[in-house]
Amino acid sequence: MPHRSKSAPKSGLAKSSIAPSAVTFPTHSGPSGKGQPENSHLAKNAVYWRQRLLLRQYHFPAVIGSEADLSVRIDHAGVGFYFPLGTPDAEVAAAKACQIFQSVAKQGWSAVRRRFSRELILAFEWCTNPVLWTYTTIHTLVGEPAEREADLSPANPNRQRILVLEADVGIRRALCWSVSQQPGFVSVPCDSTASFPQALEVHKPRLVLLNRNLARSIGFKTAGVISRIQPEVPALAYSVYADGDQMFTSTPGGAAGYMVKRVMPDRLLEPILKVAGRSELITEDFLLRVKYYFQELLQLRPDHNNQAMLKLTHREREVMELLSKGCVDKEIAQVMGISVWTVHGHIKNIFERLQVRTRTEAVIHYLEK
What is residue 42's predicted lDDT score, i.e. its pLDDT?
A: 53
What is residue 114's predicted lDDT score, i.e. its pLDDT?
A: 92
The CATH number fitting domain 304-367, selected from 1.10.10.10, 3.30.420.340, 3.20.20.80, 1.10.540.10: 1.10.10.10
Distance between CA atoms of residues 171 and 148, nearest Å: 15
Contact 166, 172 (CB under 8 A): yes
- Please write down the HEC assignment for all residues of 235-304: EEEEEEECCHHHHHHCCCCCCCCEEEEECCHHHCCHHHHHHHCCCCCCHHHHHHHHHHHHHHHHHHCCCH
What is residue 41's predicted lDDT score, i.e. its pLDDT?
A: 56
Show the CA angle centred on residue 135, arms to residues 126 and 72, nearest 5°.
155
Residues facing 241 on adjacent strands: 121
What is residue 116's predicted lDDT score, i.e. its pLDDT?
A: 96
DSSP symbols for 89-146: -HHHHHHHHHHHHHHHHHH-HHHHHHHS--EEEEEEEEETTTEEEEEEEEE---SPSP
What does the domain layout of the chain look like in residue ranges?
Answer: 20-115, 119-283, 304-367
Distance between CA atoms of residues 326 and 248, nearest Å: 8
Distance between CA atoms of residues 290 and 282, nearest Å: 13
Distance between CA atoms of residues 22 and 280, nearest Å: 51
DSSP symbols for 42-68: GGGSHHHHHTTEE------TTSS--TT
Task: Identify the CA nearest to 16 among candidates 155, 137, 178, 131.
Answer: 137
Show the CA angle centred on residue 133, arms to residues 132 and 136, nearest 5°.
160
What burial letters (b/e) apply to 335-362, b meaning 16+ CB within 10 Å? ebebebebbbebbbbbbebbbbbbbbbb
pLDDT tens, N- to C-terminus, the chain (369 residues) = 333 333 333 334 443 333 333 333 333 333 333 334 444 555 668 888 998 999 887 889 998 888 889 999 999 989 999 999 999 999 999 999 999 999 999 999 999 999 999 999 999 999 888 889 999 999 999 986 544 444 444 445 668 899 999 999 999 999 999 999 988 889 999 999 999 999 999 999 989 999 999 998 998 988 888 888 888 888 999 999 999 888 988 888 777 788 888 999 988 888 887 766 565 566 777 788 888 888 877 765 555 556 777 788 989 989 988 887 778 888 899 999 999 899 989 998 998 888 887 787 787 777 665
DSSP 7: -
Distance between CA atoms of residues 256 and 105, nearest Å: 44
Fold classification of 119-283 (topology level): Rossmann fold (3.40.50)
